[in-house]
């Protein structure tokens, strides 16, 4: 399966996402924000970073870049789309996912190995996990506080659209400990923590067994290969 990673000006974790796709068994394809061409990819990852300097609001300008109109079209037709960190912010700004992401409640950038729970596995990006599985992947952001109004929150919870939830520590003040969301169809998923930084032994988070051996994020990139919600 060909999985594209879009590089925006200011994208930082694009190479990491390409590597994660390859380690998951997919064929990584680099895409450029200025093109209106998805080059025939079967799925798309919007990587972490500070697209367009995060000016205005995080992800706000990237959501209107040329390639995003193609991404929005494809997503609406069912193509798997994953947004990580800044990519999640872009998906929210593009209205492919609900709510908004604001400055962390404690006011500083935070990098930590974050325990999260997989809340929903009926998506293109989580089907290789088990429901309720607890995983640890890196989190690193300054503006990861998930917000939504009470009614939206109720609907997200009621419809089972919470994909990931923070465990033990809510690192940014996100409402309902929400770390990631899915859309109703299950093809679009966004999350603040970084599964692409927990895919290769020796370079991931520490685990109880061995330093930097955590690969809990790999299943995200394996899930899309098994995804049944293709367009």
Partner 1 sequence: MTEHIPDTVENAAATPEKEQPYQLLGLKPDEYDQIRAILGRRPTSGELAMYSVMWSEHCSYKSSKVHLRQFGEKVSPEMTKHLMVGMGENAGVVDIGEGWAVTFKIESHNHPSYIEPFQGAATGVGGIVRDIISMGARPVAVMDALRFGAIDHPDTARVVNGVVSGISFYGNCLGLPNIGGETWFDPVYQANPLVNALAVGALRHEDLHLANAKGVGNLVVLFGARTGGDGIGGASILASDTFAEGGPTKRPAVQVGDPFAEKVLIECCLELFAGDCVEGIQDLGAAGISCATSELASNGDGGMFITLDNVLLRDPTLTAEEILMSESQERMMAIVRPDKLDAFRAVTAKWDVEASVLGEVTDTGRLIIEWKGQTIVDVDPRTVAIDGPVYNRPMEYPTWLDALQADSPSKFARVTDGDELKQQFLAILGSPNEADTDWITNQYDYYVMGNTALHTPDGAGMIRIDEESGLGVALATDANGRYCQLDPYVGAQLALVEAYRNVASSGATPMAVSDCLNFGSPENPEVMWQFARAVEGLADGCLELGIPVTGGNVSFYNQTGDVPIHPTPVVAVLGSIDNVARRLPSGWQDDGENLYLLGVTHDELGGSAWAGAVHNHLGGVPPRIDFGAEKNVAGLLSAAAIEGLVTSATDLGTGGFLRAITDGVLRFGVGARIWIDEILERDGLDATAALFSETQARVIVSVAREDDVKFRGLCEGRNVPVLRVGVTDSTSNTLEVQGLFTIAITELSQIHRGTLPAHFGAVVGG
**Per the residue annotation, which of 85, 93, 143, 197 is the catalytic one?**
85
Catalytic residue from among 119, 196, 197, 200: 196
Backbone region of residue 128 per phi and psi (left: phi > 0; alpha: psi in -120 to 50; beta: other values): alpha
Nearer to partner 1 by Cβ, of 117 and 182: the residue is: 117
b/e map 107-133, b = 16+ CB within 10 Å: eeebeebbbbbbbbbebbbbbbbeeee
Considering 33, 119, 194, 200, which one is annotated as catalytic?
A: 194
CB of 8 to partner 1, least distance (A): 10
Closest CA to 136 of 110, 161, 117: 117
Closest to 191 in 3D by CA, of 90, 112, 94? 90
**Which positions touch partner 1 (CB under 8 A)?**
9-10, 12-13, 15-16, 19, 34, 48-50, 52-55, 104, 106, 108-112, 138, 140, 142, 168-169, 171, 194, 196-197, 200, 202-203, 206, 210-212
Q: Is the dihedral of CA 28, 219, 146, 159 positive or negative?
A: positive
Q: Is 93 a catalytic residue?
A: no
Q: How many CB atoms lie within 10 A of CB 180?
A: 31
Q: Would you say 112 or 154 has its CB closer to partner 1?
A: 112
Min CB(19)–partner 1 separation in Å:
6
User: Which CB atom, from 77 or from 112, has the smaller least distance to partner 1?
Assistant: 112
Nearest-5° Cα angle at 47, 43 to 53: 140
Based on the residue annotation, tell me whether 197 is a catalytic residue of this protein. Answer: no
Give the nearer residue to partner 1 in terms of CB position, either 28 or 186: 28
- The verdict on whether 39 is a catalytic residue reads no
Active site residues: 85, 194, 196
């Amino acid at each position: 399966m060909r999985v594209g990673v879009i590089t925006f000006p200011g994208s930082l974790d694009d190479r990491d996402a390409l590597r994660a796709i390859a380690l998951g068994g997919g064929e990584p394809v680099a895409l450029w924000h200025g093109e209106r061409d998805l080059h025939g990819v079967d799925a798309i990852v919007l990587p972490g970073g500070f697209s367009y300097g995060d000016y205005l609001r995080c992800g706000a300008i990237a959501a209107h870049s040329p390639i995003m109109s193609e991404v929005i079209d494809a997503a609406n037709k069912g193509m798997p789309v994953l947004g990580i960190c800044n990519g999640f912010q872009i998906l929210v700004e593009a209205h492919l996912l609900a709510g908004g992401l604001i400055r962390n409640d404690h006011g500083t950038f935070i990098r930590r190995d974050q325990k999260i729970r997989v809340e929903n596995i009926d998506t293109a990006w989580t089907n290789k996990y088990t429901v309720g599985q607890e995983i640890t992947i890196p989190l690193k952001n300054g503006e990861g506080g998930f917000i939504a109004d009470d009614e939206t929150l109720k609907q997200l919870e009621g419809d089972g659209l919470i994909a990931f939830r923070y465990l033990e520590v809510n690192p940014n003040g996100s409402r309902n400990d929400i770390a990631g969301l899915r859309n109703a169809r299950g093809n679009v998923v966004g999350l603040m923590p970084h599964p692409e930084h927990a895919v290769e032994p020796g370079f991931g988070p520490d685990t109880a067994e061995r330093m930097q051996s955590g690969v809990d994020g790999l299943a995200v990139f394996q899930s899309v290969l098994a995804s049944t919600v293709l367009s």
